[in-house]
């Protein structure tokens, strides 16, 4: 609740209730609030009554409003850049085929690889833009985007370039290198050789400034813990943080492996053991819950939610937006699913899509409303923050600001 020394803020919003999340528990809400920004930073967050001067003297634009303002939402796990869709596989799963059966028959990730390789950069951008717009419309101001549907140097590079180009929408984009997502046909039966190639590509893409973090799919139908370790060692040599698709279908100790490399996050984590939870707590690794995939795959094995709470492991929530297992275009809907399937409270879900999601990306300047934080915030037409997890769909965001600029 402090003001900067600037006398000409870019904007000042008055009258809304503020869910600052700037406290360990609760919404840390402020009634009849005042929120101001200059350039890309918040300059005042507090009650209107604590403003140091008359509003018209403080800001170039003063807006009176109602409803609530929260920090901008942070979608910390997406596969948003891809071509084509896998609607037919959705039908196959409803008819009894498992995710693994579809993947082993040449569907799954590899079907998206074929479509993504066939699209040039412009077409890939054209198909990805509507998905990004949908996330923004429902409050997302920071989005992580993974590669992993190219599986060769040129196409992984193409995906990462398109992800960077989505910053033209005004949001923050964090890119994650996920070449260790699936084994491409040309490397069938040669997983170790593929990891050698993917490590070499990583170095080249890092030089181009296209990689913010490194991920892998550590699973029986993905890559072994030993292969994942090699990829993470290469990331460490380049001073890149790691995260991991861990323990989604089985417990291979993936979450503990991510923690051993001081990983930003372990994602999915349905089968994560208590020993891995303790390792995550020790190393500050965030558990990223992906209820969209849990829902679409009709899973029944819950993540160890009570253990995460007991050991103080932060729980983030993300869409996992992807064409096969989580065709989800709303982080707010992911929050609702986290409450419904995982029994998160609405406060836990909102923190999971703001404070903890930012931590899962290694970003410490957002996810809360606080003077000095990045000016990412959303105005909502709601009577209480719990409504963000209550409504299934529908337009609740009336304005979305990222870096001090209105992006919706």
Number of Cα atoms under 13 Å in the Cβ half of residue 221: 16
Q: Is 38 annotated as a binding residue?
A: no
Q: Is 320 annotated as a binding residue?
A: yes
Q: Give the Cα separation of 318 and 109 in Å (integer).
A: 19
The crossing angle, in degrees rounded to 10, of helices 153-165 and 191-207 is 40
Residue at token pair 């609702």: 336
Element (H, E) at 146: strand 140-146
| Angle formed by the axes of helices 121-137 and 153-165, nearest 10° | 40
List the Cα angle 365/71/386 in 5-degree steps: 145
* 324 carries a ligand binding annotation: yes
Q: Is 181 annotated as a binding residue?
A: yes
- Spatial contact of 243 and 222, defined as CB atoms under 8 Å apart: no
For residue 136, how many other CB atoms are within 10 A of its CB? 25
| 405 annotated to bind ligand | no
In DSSP notation, 172-208 reads EEEEEEEEETS--GGGTT-HHHHHHHHHHHHHHHHHT
Would the annotation count 239 as a binding residue?
no
Distance CA 183, CA 46 (A): 52
- Residue in the structure block whose two tokens are 């970003």: 363
Tell me: is residue 322 an annotated ligand-binding position: yes
The distance in angstroms from the start CA to the end CA of the chain is 26
Report CA dihedral (384, 389, 391, 397) to the nearest 10 degrees: 70
**Binding residue per annotation — 390?**
no
Q: Which of 17, 48, 78 is nearest to 387 (CA)?
A: 17
Separation between Cα atoms, residue 123 and residue 132, nearest integer Å: 15
155 is in an annotated binding site: no
133 is an annotated ligand-binding site residue: no
- Binding-site residues for N-formimidoyl-L-glutamate sit at 149, 322, 324
- Binding-site residues for Zn(2+) sit at 77, 79, 245, 320
- Binding-site residues for Fe(3+) sit at 77, 79, 245, 320
- Binding-site residues for 4-imidazolone-5-propanoate sit at 86, 149, 181, 248, 325
- Binding-site residues sit at 77, 79, 86, 149, 181, 245, 248, 320, 322, 324-325
């Amino acid at each position: 609740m402090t003001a900067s020394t600037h006398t000409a803020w870019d904007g000042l919003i008055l009258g809304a209730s503020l869910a600052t999340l700037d406290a360990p528990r609760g919404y840390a809400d402020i009634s009849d609030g005042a929120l101001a920004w200059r350039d890309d930073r918040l300059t005042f967050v507090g009650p209107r009554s604590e403003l140091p001067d008359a509003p018209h003297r403080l800001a170039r634009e003063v807006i009176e409003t109602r409803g609530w303002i929260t920090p901008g939402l942070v979608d910390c796990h997406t596969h948003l850049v891809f071509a084509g869709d896998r609607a037919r596989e959705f039908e196959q799963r409803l008819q009894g085929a498992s995710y693994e059966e579809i993947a082993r028959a040449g569907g799954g990730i590899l079907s998206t690889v074929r479509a993504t390789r066939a699209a040039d950069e412009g077409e890939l951008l054209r198909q990805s833009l509507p998905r990004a717009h949908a996330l923004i419309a429902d409050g997302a101001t920071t989005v992580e985007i993974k590669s992993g549907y190219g599986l060769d140097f040129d196409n992984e590079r193409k995906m990462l370039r398109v992800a960077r180009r989505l910053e033209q929408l005004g949001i923050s984009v964090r890119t994650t290198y996920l070449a260790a997502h699936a084994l491409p046909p040309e490397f069938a039966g040669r997983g170790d050789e593929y990891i050698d190639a993917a490590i070499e590509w990583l170095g080249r893409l890092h030089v181009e400034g296209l990689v913010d973090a490194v991920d892998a799919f550590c699973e029986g139908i993905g890559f072994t813990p030993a292969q994942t370790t090699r990829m993470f060692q290469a990331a460490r040599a380049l001073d890149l943080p790691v995260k991991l698709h861990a323990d989604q279908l089985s417990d291979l100790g993936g979450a503990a492996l991510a923690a051993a490399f001081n990983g930003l996050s372990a994602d999915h984590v349905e089968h994560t053991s208590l020993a891995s939870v303790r390792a995550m707590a020790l190393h500050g690794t965030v558990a990223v819950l992906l209820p969209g995939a849990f829902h679409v795959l009709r899973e029944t094995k819950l993540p160890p939610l009570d253990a995460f709470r007991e050991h103080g492991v932060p729980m983030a929530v993300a869409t996992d937006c992807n064409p096969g297992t989580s065709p989800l275009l709303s982080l707010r809907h992911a929050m609702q699913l986290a409450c419904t399937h995982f029994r998160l409270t609405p406060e836990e879900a909102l923190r999971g899509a703001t404070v903890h999601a930012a931590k899962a990306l290694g970003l410490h300047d957002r996810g809360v409303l606080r003077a000095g934080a990045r000016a990412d915030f959303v105005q909502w037409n709601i009577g209480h923050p719990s409504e963000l997890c209550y409504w299934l769909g529908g337009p609740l965001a009336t304005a979305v600001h990222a870096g001090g600029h209105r992006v919706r």
